[in-house]
């Protein structure tokens, strides 16, 4: 079968990220059977963290009901070689930033629910890793958000004040602490130049190892894994659905789409709903100044460094390898550098070229630690070891799509995480797996199961017809680039015109 070259699939010869230096060599190109099965109960498309956790949760749901199912996982490339292998491994929830914006769109109660949902992910990861004895360098710590501009600091403070006023118990339960004094902020974090900050519980892990471990456990339960087998077409058939691949077709009762940036390759109606957005990250060896026994010594927190709209960097000082912190490699993972390329849309928007370094990011990363971390004494290259690109799946309304796809009974989606998947994936996959397992058992979603799904997931995440047909696209405006029509309409065209005129006068 000849494959359509226009399909949105991973490019060959992608840059090698830090997380793939310890591949599971047996899983990398694994095919459980020589031929792909002709029939099954569930096909999960995508082997990243979403696909792996979805598969795991489906098995858990079915076992709770004392049911079995034939599950097949299709992967277009190597196992877990896309976004999960190219992110920061950072489980850092939003705890107050953005609260006012979400409250204005959805109301205060739902805005609070969105933040509480993310905060719950850390415990879900910790429980899973502990109960299943998964070696993935899981470490629970605290994160610091640090604002570098007066405007950003003022906005963050207003978000803090608004959520604290409306939901003080939630803020206290989440252990969110603000730091108003700049000197105290630098003393606590080791970051210089910050104006305001706040900290809260967060964590980090080796995402590839977590996903690969879950896939292995699912294979032990009977799952059939087929790598280098892209799903190229999905159509209704007497069995329910038929999935075309270059190696033959699979007839299945239900499908889980866990393809994030590549979703429109199998669901064309998502071409304007989930777009590939290119990002960049690197790994850094700690300098002597930031190693054990030195001053200032090892960094203690993870970081979100906020410089402006769309320009947020993240940095994770890893605490070693294995189950005992402090042993082995303790590289930092630094990502972002969006200021280098945001103004050039072609470099990041609707771009899947993670086989290329993005312009300017290496130089940005090489100068980063000395610029922002006090007393850093790294080498002339900033101790940068690897630089890589990754393709994120940005949703048009900036929130993930989770649930049954409209007009496609038995097809479920969990995708569009907009570069913020780590604190969303555990809860989203748990929710969608309730629907999948119910459909496998009953060939339908009962009102009871639908209620359970809705109770477990914030309403703005629900996959609805309204979201699918919406013309809204907020991606560029969220990155500080261009003003989307909906944003213009929301604040009034006259106000927008006045702003544009003022900007032109200021040039």
> Could you identify the residue written with the tokens 């203690």?
300
CB 241 within 8 A of CB 411: yes
Q: Which two tokens mark 426?
A: 């555990």
CB 281 within 8 A of CB 293: no
Rounded distance, CA 402 to CA 28, Å?
Answer: 28
Going from the C-alpha of 55 to that of each of 382, 432, 436, the distances in angstroms are 40, 11, 10
pLDDT tens digit sequence for 68-90: 999 999 999 999 999 999 999 99
pLDDT of residue 304: 98
pLDDT of residue 3: 59
Q: Which two tokens mark 343?
A: 């103004």
Q: What residues does 250 pair with on adjacent strands?
A: 243
Domains belonging to the chain, first-starting first, are 33-85+208-273+397-469 (3.50.50.60), 137-202+278-391 (3.30.9.10), 481-506 (no CATH)
Rounded distance, CA 137 to CA 131, Å?
Answer: 15
Express as a percent the part of the chain with pLDDT over 90.
Answer: 90
- Residues ≥6 apart with Cβ < 8 Å to 133: none
Rounded distance, CA 344 to CA 338, Å?
Answer: 10
pLDDT of residue 507: 35
* Torsional class of 7: left (φ above 0), alpha (ψ -120 to 50), beta (otherwise): beta
Rounded distance, CA 495 to CA 483, Å?
Answer: 13
Half-sphere exposure of 414 (CA within 13 A, CB side): 32
End-to-end CA distance of the chain: 56
According to DSSP, the β-strands at 196-204 and 274-284 are: unpaired
Q: Which two tokens mark 330?
A: 């303790």
pLDDT tens digit sequence for 249-263: 999 999 999 999 999
Rg (CA), the chain: 22
Can you list the residues of the chain whose pLDDT is less than 50? 484-488, 490-507
Indicate the Cα dihedral angle 180, 182, 188, 192, nearest 10°: 140
pLDDT tens digit sequence for 370-417: 999 999 999 999 999 999 999 999 999 999 999 999 999 999 999 999
At 420 the three-state DSSP class reads: coil
């Amino acid at each position: 079968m000849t494959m359509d070259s226009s399909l949105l699939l991973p490019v060959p010869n992608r840059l090698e990220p830090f997380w793939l230096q310890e591949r599971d060599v047996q899983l990398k190109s694994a095919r459980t059977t020589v031929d792909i099965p002709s029939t099954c109960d569930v096909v999960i498309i995508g082997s990243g963290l979403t696909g792996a956790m979805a598969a795991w949760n489906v098995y858990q749901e079915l076992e709770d009901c004392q049911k079995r199912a034939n599950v097949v996982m299709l992967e277009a490339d190597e196992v877990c070689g896309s976004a999960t292998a190219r992110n920061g491994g950072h489980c850092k929830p939003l705890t107050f930033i953005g609260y006012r914006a979400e409250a204005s769109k959805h109301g205060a109660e739902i805005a609070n629910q969105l933040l509480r949902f993310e905060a719950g992910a850390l415990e879900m990861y910790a429980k899973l890793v502990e109960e299943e004895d998964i070696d993935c360098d899981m470490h629970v710590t605290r994160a610091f958000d640090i604002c570098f501009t007066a405007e950003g600091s003022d906005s963050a403070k207003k978000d803090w004040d608004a959520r604290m006023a409306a939901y003080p118990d939630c803020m206290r339960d989440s252990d969110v602490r603000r730091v108003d004094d700049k000197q105290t902020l630098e003393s606590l974090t080791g970051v210089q130049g910050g104006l305001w900050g706040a900290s809260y519980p967060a964590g980090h892990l080796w995402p590839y190892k977590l996903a690969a471990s879950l896939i292995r456990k699912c294979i032990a339960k009977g799952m059939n894994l087929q790598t280098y087998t892209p799903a190229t077409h999905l159509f209704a058939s007497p069995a329910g659905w038929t999935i075309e691949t270059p190696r033959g077709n699979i007839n299945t009762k239900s499908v889980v789409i866990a393809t994030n940036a590549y979703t429109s390759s199998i669901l064309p109606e998502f071409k304007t709903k989930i777009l590939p957005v290119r990002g960049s990250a690197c790994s850094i060896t700690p300098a002597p100044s930031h190693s054990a026994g030195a001053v200032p010594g090892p960094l203690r927190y993870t970081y979100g460094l906020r410089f402006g709209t769309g320009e947020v960097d993240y940095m994770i000082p890893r605490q070693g390898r294995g189950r005992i912190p402090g042993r082995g490699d303790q590289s930092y993972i630094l990502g972002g550098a969006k200021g280098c390329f945001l103004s050039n849309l072609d470099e990041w928007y609707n771009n899947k070229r993670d086989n290329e370094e993005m312009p300017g990011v290496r130089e940005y990363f090489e100068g980063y630690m000395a610029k922002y971390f006090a007393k850093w004494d790294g080498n002339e290259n900033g101790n940068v070891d690897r630089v890589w690109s990754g393709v994120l799946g940005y949703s048009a309304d900036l929130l993930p799509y989770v649930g049954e796809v409209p007009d496609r009974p038995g097809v479920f989606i969990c995708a569009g995480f907009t570069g913020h998947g780590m604190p969303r994936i555990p809860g989203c996959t748990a929710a969608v797996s309730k629907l999948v397992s119910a459909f496998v058992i009953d060939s339908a979603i009962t009102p009871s199961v639908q209620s359970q799904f809705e109770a477990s997931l914030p309403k703005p995440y629900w996959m609805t017809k309204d979201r699918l047909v919406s013309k809204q696209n907020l991606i560029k405006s969220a990155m500080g680039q261009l003003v989307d029509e909906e944003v213009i309409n929301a604040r009034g065209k006259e106000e927008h015109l006045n702003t544009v005129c003022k900007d032109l006068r200021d040039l």
